[in-house]
A and B are shown apart, each in its own frame.
Chain A
Amino acid sequence: MPVIKSIEDLKKIRDQAKDQINLRVDNESKTRVVVGMGTCGIAAGARQVMLAILEELKKRNVSDVIVTEAGCIGLCQYEPLVDVIKPDRPKVTYVNMNPDKAREIVVKHIINDQVVDEYVVPNI
Chain B
Amino acid sequence: MTVAVDLKNVWKRFGDFIAVKDVTISILDGEFFSLLGPSGCGKTTTLRMIAGFDLPTQGEIFLHGKPVGQLPPFKRDVNTVFQRYALFPHLTIAQNVAFGLEMKKVAKPEIEERVRKALEMVKLGNKGNNRPAQLSGGQMQRVALARAIVNRPEVLLLDEPLGALDLNLRKEMQFELKRLQRELGLTFIYVTHDQEEALVMSDRIGVMSDGLLLQVGTPAEIYNQPNCRFVADFIGETNFVNCHVSSVDAASKMAHVKVAGQFDVHAGSADDVVAGKDAFLAIRPEKISIHLTAGSVPESHDNVFDAKIVEDIFIGTDTRYVVELAGNVRLAIREQNMSALDATDPYDVGTPVKVSWDSDSARILMS
Task: Note whether A and B form a binding pair.
Answer: no
User: Which B residues have a C-beta under 8 Å from some C-beta of A?
Assistant: none
User: Which A residues have a C-beta under 8 Å from some C-beta of B?
Assistant: none
